[in-house]
Structure 1
Amino acid sequence: MIKIKVPASTANIGAGFDCFGLALKLYNEFEFDEIESDGLIFLQNGKPSSIAIEDNLIYFSMLEAFKKYNFKHKGFYINVINSDVPLSRGLGSSATCIAAGINAANYFMNKIMTEQEIINLATKIEGHPDNVVPALIGGFNISLVENNNVVYSKINLPEDLLFVALIPNFQMSTESSRKILPENYSKSDCVFNISRAAMLISSLYKKDFSNLRTSLQDKIHQPFRGPAIKDMDLIFDKSKEFNALGEFISGSGSTLMIIIDKHNSEFYNKMDAFLKTTSACWKMKILEPDICGAIIV
């Protein structure tokens, strides 16, 4: 039996649509073992799960890896022993399942897959690399796909930054969130995003936080997803008032992400008090970046 621990991730990070992603210290953990019979025994916290095999992304990812390498196998036992990454909240829950499934398959195939092959397959399953790359290797990553091969670069983050996840009690599926986006964008909107994405990387590299809020602006997805997130504008206004460094929608939502300086000791209590006055129920988690990614423990 093996255990695999995979971090949550926040994607897009403002203007980096489908290519920026950051792993965070919030985890899903999984147990895997081979069984003599065919098929799947799937548990959540040790109890039988109602999720159908065809809807099980963990098992599907394992099978995709086995199929790619023509690996003959019997059945498997999978137990989700810890699920701190909430579903459909823009924190990469699907990426944790994909990363866990492929890593488990690779383990049972005697580790024949390279890191690049794991990343390529995970991206093929997910459809884009922004969440799966940091889930697999940790850190802040810029990722793109070139000729079915994922090209990625890890950026060193300043140690002074913390990421505050505001997680509401309502979901936003990635599929529905993508459907509300336009098919085409103006040249000026594209230039807007290119400039902000480039400035964000420069600001992080130079540890210059004066332009961070401006660098997190976006015209590709946030203007269209924002209206579905209750009180987002009010929360972002208060975040600025409470001396945060910048704000953005985490992935496709519904989680909002706020970047603060680690010395901003008053932010949590002030934001917590304000959130209690809003119409939705919010959970707030202050998270550090995860630099390791998926690990077998």
Structure 2
Amino acid sequence: MTDSASIATVRVPASAANVGGGFDCVGIAVDRWLTVSVRQGAEGEPAEPGFVREGTLTSLGTRNSQDAIYVAFRAAVGAKKIAVPERLRFHATSEIPVGRGLGSSAAAFVAGAALANEMLKLGLDKFGIAEVGTALEGHPDNVCPSVFGGATLALTHAGKVIVSPLDVHASLAFVFAVPEFVLETKRARAALPNVVPHVTAVSAAAKGAALVRGLATADEDMLAAALDDVLHIPHRRRLVRGYDAVAAAAIEAGAIGATLSGAGSSMLAVTKTEKADAVGAAMAHAWQLTGVSAVAFTSAQRVKGFHVVP
């Protein structure tokens, strides 16, 4: 291996998980990207991994050996029972906001596994990379959109990840509003109860089915019901300053419904394409009225999954 040439480069999309009634199982790929290259340093350089971080990663204080990209690289290699190369040099540039519910950690895990697969010719297919990412992330709903692209339904069963693409009607748009504040996933997880009433579980199951049907057909009644989550939003909305105002503003501007993106702090609205700009502007303005700066954008509807850059 050379000491200067990039051995492998991958691009991985962001993702939004917990979409409405699809808590911990439905996610969508989002067109904000993590791009990572890896090469092997020259003989005599330090054996430890090295990183150059740009974009949203510049303030990341993680030790290089604990960086999610390297952790996933090591996990993918370890699964094949071969030695992890020394002197790995990573260059990572990201557009994905960190700690905002857009799958930054899942994208990093996918990038690391995909880089190892490409650099060392491990022979992993996309399902294998999804398995590595899910084992590290803990659940597949962010990982699978970043691997396969589009909207996905994913769950773990009998020790393996099962994933299926979901149809999304061409008339629908996904609008995101990203606030300036971070909500740590650990804190958001801690807000959830250990047990829910049976009636809540029944409602959640119905909303999950309604989400799949609503996305495929653009049935607004189905989607409105599906986006009114009963499993996590009632417990997390208090952690997101301005949640109720932003959701109400989105709906008033024409959105079918609004919810958290992932565990937050970003919010996601589903709307008809022609109303997307107005919905995004309304969400950002509603946050501004609460003293929070936010940026809104509409994601491309069908975003492809990770890919190797030639």
TM-score normalized with structure 2 length: 0.90
Do the aligned residues in 1 keep the contact of 2:29 with 2:305 (CA within 8 Å)?
yes
Q: Which residue of 2 aligns with 1:30?
A: 36
Q: What is the deviation of 1:281?
A: 1.4
Other structure's SS at 1:89 match: coil
Q: Which residue of 1 aligns with 2:49?
A: 40
Q: Using the TM superposition, name which of 125-134 and 266-275 deviates more.
A: 266-275
Choose the corresponding residue for 1:60, options 71, 87, 95: 71
Choose the corresponding residue for 1:20, options 11, 15, 26: 26
Q: Determine the C-alpha separation between the residues in 1 that align with 2:73 and 2:142.
A: 18
Do the aligned residues in 1 keep the contact of 2:32 with 2:95 (CA within 8 Å)?
yes
Q: Which residue of 2 aligns with 1:215?
A: 226
Q: Determine the C-alpha separation between the residues in 1 that align with 2:31 and 2:195.
A: 35
Amino acid across the alignment from 1:119: A
Show CA shifts across 1:109-141 (max 9, x none).
214112222111111010000000101110111
Do the aligned residues in 2 keep the contact of 1:42 with 1:48 (CA within 8 Å)?
no
- List alignment gaps of at least 5 residues for structure 1: none
Q: Which residue of 2 aligns with 1:256?
A: 267
Q: Which residue of 1 aligns with 2:295?
A: 283
Distance 1:234 1:274, change over 3 A: closer
Give runs of aligned pairs for residues 229-268 of structure 1, distance below 5 A: 229-264=240-275, 265-268=277-280
Distance 1:11 1:49, change over 3 A: closer
Number of residue pairs matched by the alignment? 296
Amino acid across the alignment from 2:20: G
Q: Which residue of 2 aligns with 1:192?
A: 203
Distance 1:15 1:268, change over 3 A: closer
Q: Determine the C-alpha separation between the residues in 2 that align with 1:283 and 1:246.
A: 19
Show CA shifts across 1:220-275 (max 9, x none).
11111101111111111121111111111111111111112111253344444444
Do the aligned residues in 2 keep the contact of 1:5 with 1:294 (CA within 8 Å)?
yes
Q: Which residue of 1 aligns with 2:145?
A: 134
Choose the corresponding residue for 1:170, options 181, 184, 191: 181
Distance 1:292 1:63, change over 3 A: same
Give the percent of matched residue pairs that are identical in Structure 1 and Structure 2: 26
Other structure's SS at 1:166 match: strand
Amino acid across the alignment from 2:92: V
Q: Determine the C-alpha separation between the residues in 1 that align with 2:307 and 2:150.
A: 14
Q: Using the TM superposition, name which of 259-268 and 52-61 deviates more.
A: 259-268
Q: What is the deviation of 1:210?
A: 3.3
